[in-house]
Amino acid sequence: EPEVTQTPSHQVTQMGQEVILRCVPISNHLYFYWYRQILGQKVEFLVSFYNNEISEKSEIFDDQFSVERPDGSNFTLKIRSTKLEDSAMYFCASSGGVSPLHFGNGTRLTVT
Amino acid sequence: GENVGLHLPTLSVQEGDNSIINCAYSNSASDYFIWYKQESGKGPQFIIDIRSNMDKRQGQRVTVLLNKTVKHLSLQIAATQPGDSAVYFCAENRDDYKLSFGAGTTVTVRA
């Protein structure tokens, strides 16, 4: 069964550094998402992406965040200057539009 | 505040018994609901979904019930197994397939 893959599985970075989280969505999917989950809390929506542009974003997704689909297979989340409170699991998800979201296993981001 | 939430944060179930996990939502405009299972260190895994024009949907060992009158969603797991131990989230869709997740119920299966 096709799946969403995310790399790296764990990223440790210093406060103020830039990080790029990478995702390969399911190949025939058209809608792409990033969610995050702070330890022990619920999964929170960050951003949705369709037709090469952001379709919706949450208040969490401020100017420090950006997303890109640089080629036909990758979908990336960049955090320009990380803060301690950015430490969380970041999940990429994709959907064919009428299908449910399929999630990757996440990248654990630790900001020190 | 949250628009989607679960009644109980934890549920302990004897192996072989049936489990019922509940979820309340507040947005009557929501038209699509999904149950996800999250095991430790993994992403949410799709279990079953239901659209608002239905009140019941069955899968393999799982049933989702939707009561739009009281804005309540439940997940029933038949003959609970140790592998069912996980955190279960209900999620609600309001527009553009953006999902809003509830806080989750941790299910622990006792041998």
B59-89 pLDDT tens trace: 999 999 999 999 999 999 999 999 999 999 9
Give the pLDDT band of residue B96 (cuts 50, 70, 90): low
- pLDDT above 60: residue B6: no
Q: Measured between alpha carbons, how far is A98 from A92 in angstroms, rounded to an integer?
A: 18
Q: Does A106 sit within 8 Å of B96, measured CB to CB?
A: no
Q: Measured between alpha carbons, how far is A104 from A40 in angstroms, rounded to an integer?
A: 18
Over range B24-44, report the average pLDDT. Answer: 90
- pLDDT above 80: residue A17: yes
Nearest to A101 among B95, B99, B103 (CB): B99
Average pLDDT across chain B, whole number = 89
Beta-carbon pairs below 8 A across chains A and B: 48
pLDDT at B4: 58
Q: Name the superfamily (CATH) of residues A5-104.
A: Immunoglobulins (2.60.40.10)
Q: Is B46 on the interface with A (CB under 8 A)?
A: yes
Q: Residue ranges per domain, chain A?
A: 5-104
Average pLDDT across chain A, whole number = 94
- pLDDT above 50: residue B35: yes
Provide the shortest C-alpha distance from residue A62 to chain B (in Å): 18
Q: Residue ranges per domain, chain B?
A: 4-110
DSSP for chain A? ----EEE-SEEEE-TT--EEEEEE--TT--EEEEEEE-TTS--EEEEEEETTEEEEE-TT--TTEEEE--SSS-EEEEESS--GGG-EEEEEEEE-SSSPPEE---EEEEE-
**Lowest-confidence region among A87-91, B28-32, B45-49:** B28-32
pLDDT at A41: 87
Q: Pick the most confident of A5-9, A95-99, B101-105.
A: A5-9
Domain B4-110 is found in CATH 2.60.40.10: yes
pLDDT at B73: 94
pLDDT at B51: 93
Terminal Cα distance for chain A, rounded? 37
Over range B26-48, report the average pLDDT. Answer: 91
Higher pLDDT, A93 or A97: A93
Nearest CA in chain B to A3: B45
Over range A75-92, report the average pLDDT. Answer: 97
Sign for the pseudo-dihedral over CA of B94, B40, B62, A24? positive
Q: Considering only CA atoms, give the Rg of chain A.
A: 13
- pLDDT above 60: residue A43: yes
